[in-house]
A and B are shown apart, each in its own frame.
Chain A
Amino acid sequence: MRPESVPGDPFSLLRKRVHEAEGRGRRAFALFQAARHPGPLVWILPSHAPEMPMLRGLPRGVGERLHLIRPVGETDLLWCVEEALRADPVSLVIAEPQKPLALTVGRRLQLAAEAGRTSGLMLIRQEAGSNATETRWNCEPLPATAADSTLQRWSLNKNKNGTLAHWTVNWNGTSAAFHMVSEARERHEPAEPPH
């Protein structure tokens, strides 16, 4: 029996599962999720990756809890992800695998997340996910007309436990609060035939 996600909040990730995010805005989505998870955070990125999280730009309360792990090579990276998912105290594991995730890998990570009661979020490149993922999000920053709004388009492309949808969200990158601009959903029920 899996715990249901909180009704009314479409962005809470199902606990004890591994999720995936792709698109240009995936790091912003990861930080948004990090701000919503209390407890230690682990961010695993390859040692050669040039992009580093910048401490002063992170949402409030994330920087102190963040542990960066920078392994060399994909095997070590996946080992670190599995080990971190298996650890009990970690609340969210964010990882940036460089290669497409195989089904075996995805399955192993799901088992590790269940064993450690930890959520995982894989920041993948386009089309590099595995079928074992619980949800897959496509995150893109959107241009905004107002000067102080930072619009994000977060679409749920794959969901093992619910429906697909996409949202346009105004999240300013400093706290866990967000402002829903509009709610839209892909129709999954058959259309009513015209009378």
Chain B
Amino acid sequence: MARGLRRGMTLADARAICPDLATRPADLAREATALATLRRWTGRYAPMVGTDGVDGLIADISGVSHLFGGEVELREDLQARMDRAGLATVTAIAGTRGAAHALARHGGGIVADGSLAIGIGHLPVTALRVDHDTAEALARMGLSRISDLIPLPRAPLARRFGQGLVLRLDQALGAQAEPVAAEPDPPHFGVRMTLPEPIGLQSDVMAGLARLLERLCAKLTLHRMGARRVRFELRRVDSGSAVVEIGLARPMRDPIRIAALFAKGVDEIDSGFGIDGLRLSAPLTEAMAPEQVTGQIGDGPTIRHEDALADLLSSIGNRIGFDRVQRLLPATSLIPERSFLIAPAAYSSPEPIPQRSGPGRPITLFPPEPVTAASGTPPANFRWRRMRFTTLRATGPERITPEWWFDDPAWRSGLRDYWRIDTQEGPRLWLFVTPQTQDWYMQGEFA
């Protein structure tokens, strides 16, 4: 900044001024997350904190500053904490939102009550949150400071520069109200329970869990969300803790069915000298529209089929891992290995399989295995997996060329000619030959 760099400069200009400049691409999503975190923290100073643009926070500290000993002390306290956290911030306190915004972006400070026009008069007109065109037009007229605008008659100003400038000026000077609205916090799906006496029995823990689940699911229902992961934390009296976490094969908010999935995890908990605190949260949630419930809840046979299947996939996924519960999805590639996708069943839904056409495909597919002692094209006899086969009938070849836009190591050997070979021994096999090298490989077996 000291050498003349400013925001909005092109990189080439900045490099020309400052050749040893360290640059990094902006990560807007992470910046927004950091700002949201900072906004939550700033809640310690004021009840109403909102974001102000992409790089600012605005807090309404009316009636708050005396708790910190005054406005000066409040600002010093804030600055000290920010410095300790390693954040370079500029802060300003003013009677209106517009004035605070302007001052914070031009050096910071405190404007005393009743002296707004003097306090921000020396600032350039760009501090008024006006757009670039207006600012340029003002500069052309020789109006560069806010104090130049204040004595001017309003009507010509509005006619020449638009209503926006007058509005911004009024807001900065307090003639127009501009409240600070706190943003709604995203709903937090967590509930807890503190027990007066420690508990140790499994049935007691499950009873506590059932109560917590009821509250959590009510909250989920209110926000029309369903849990994908549920985390159950237990605090022991010796300040140790145990955690049970389960995943769900599809978003769910049915307390009874979620409780059933916790049974195994709760069984393995070491309660030590007893558990006196329970905490249940849903770290991962998904939108889930309300559904019509048919029959009575908690009645065995009325649980619908999909729900029962989802329960099965949840319980299997929780033991062996959700990535091991899979589903086959069609893909458009002609390459046998990529003609279908293997997707985790919990995060995909079945897709209709397009009508097949062209040559038949085997029922099982495996990575290519070399075929030895192949004679001729197609081979009259060959050995595979230490078995000898004699060709009865060969159908082919079907030539498949590699997809050049993917670099697949298995297809580096170039195009392949696929043959279906019915053997005299019985098996109907799917072989291919790479014409460049005349090597035979086995890749599948027909019904």
Contact = CB atoms under 8 A, between A and B. Distances in A.
A137 interface: no
B328 A171 contact: no
Interface string B347-387: 00011110010001111111100000000000000000000
A57 B444 contact: yes
B422 to A, nearest CB: 6
Residue among B324, B345, B366, B367 with most chain A CB within 10 A: B324
A31 B312 contact: no
Contact of B312 (A51, A53, A83, A140): A83
Contacts of B312: 83-84, 87, 89-90
A111 B242 CA distance: 35
Interface of chain B, helix or strand or loop or mixed? mixed
B291 to A, nearest CB: 17
Given A64-B350, A87-B309, A171-B447, A50 B367 contact: yes
Interface string A118-142: 0000000000000000000000111
Nearest to B447: A173
A150 interface: yes
A66 interface: yes
B330 A141 contact: no
Interface string B83-109: 000000000000000000000000000
B352 A64 contact: yes
Contacts of B309: 40, 87, 89-90
Given A55-B340, A88-B308, A147-B393, A69 B320 contact: yes
B316 A52 contact: no
Nearest to B320: A71
A57 B342 contact: no
A5 to B, nearest CB: 23
B401 interface: no
A67 interface: yes
A64 B351 contact: yes
B319 A57 contact: no
A26 B392 CA distance: 22
B364 A67 contact: no
A68 interface: yes
Given A55-B328, A69-B326, A173 B426 contact: no
A74 interface: no
